[in-house]
Each structure stands twice: as structure tokens, then as C-alpha cells.
Amino acid sequence: MQAVVVGALVRDGRVLLAHRRADKRAYPSVWDLPGGLVEAGESELDALTRELDEELGVQIVTGSASHLCRVTAGPRDEPALLSAWLVRAWHGTPANLAPEEHDDIGWFTVEEFPPPGHPHLRAALVDVMRSHRD
């Protein structure tokens, strides 16, 4: 099973989501947290740092990252272990640097969250956002 890491950048009561392209095999045309595969030899936090830099051009402050949840996700024939992290501090302005992965990015409040790609991940994110309003 592949390991995948995603990050919830949170600021001012909003979380940054990326809209997955329609041609993606897993969760096409869904708003989701940015991230990607954990490479051999990487810790989850190392992979998260690399992925958010590659996809969004931000450098996370690793001390601000806390683990949110783990879920099994993806296509039934190729499930992945998805580990989600909450990130409250970073350097840089998020931009869509991976148009081959996402066709848009946007900031959403809990009340504005689009339909979930991963219901358990969405529930965990909603809980933490409601309990820790900025």
C-alpha cells in the first residue's frame, strides 16, 4: 500500500484546498488537500515539506505541523494510506505550481467546504477547525 501525505494549510479560519484535475485517477474533479506520495526514506513530515513546496511554493514551519488523521483512501484496487497534517505556519504565498495535478486552489471556511473526497478526513478537519478558531 502506498503512503500519501496531505497538508491542511490553515489561516484566519480558512483552509487551502486544491481542485484535482478531471483526468486524475483518484478523486477526479474533487476539492482536496494538497500533497502526494511519501518517497522511500522520507518521513511523513519530510514528504509533506517537499510536496507543499513543489505544489504550492511554500516552506512549512515544521514545528507548526500537527498530525490530523490517517485514513485508507483511493481506488479499491490501489488503496493508499493517507496521512493528513494540520499546518498553521509557512513561508511564501501559496500558488498552484502543479497544474498537472490541480486546476485551481482556494481558501474555504468550514461552512464553505465543498463535498468531501475523504469523508473521515473532512470530519477530522471540520472538528479541528471548529475547536481552534483563529
| pLDDT tens-digit map of 1-10 | 899 999 999 9
Which CATH architecture does the domain made up of 2-131 adopt?
Alpha-Beta Complex (3.90)
Predicted local distance difference test score (pLDDT) of residue 134: 46
Does 17 score more than 80 pLDDT?
A: yes
Listed by start position, the domains of the chain span 2-131
Predicted local distance difference test score (pLDDT) of residue 76: 79
Higher-confidence residue of 42 and 131: namely 42
Predicted local distance difference test score (pLDDT) of residue 132: 67
| Averaged pLDDT, 80-105 | 95
Give the HSE-up count for residue 1: Cα atoms under 13 Å, Cβ half-sphere: 13
Whats the size of the chain, residue-wise? 134
| Averaged pLDDT, 120-131 | 86
Predicted local distance difference test score (pLDDT) of residue 52: 98
What is the radius of gyration, based on Cα positions, of the chain?
14
Q: What is the pTM of this model?
A: 0.90
Full DSSP string of 24-62: -SSSTT-EE--EEEPPTT--HHHHHHHHHHHHH--EE-G
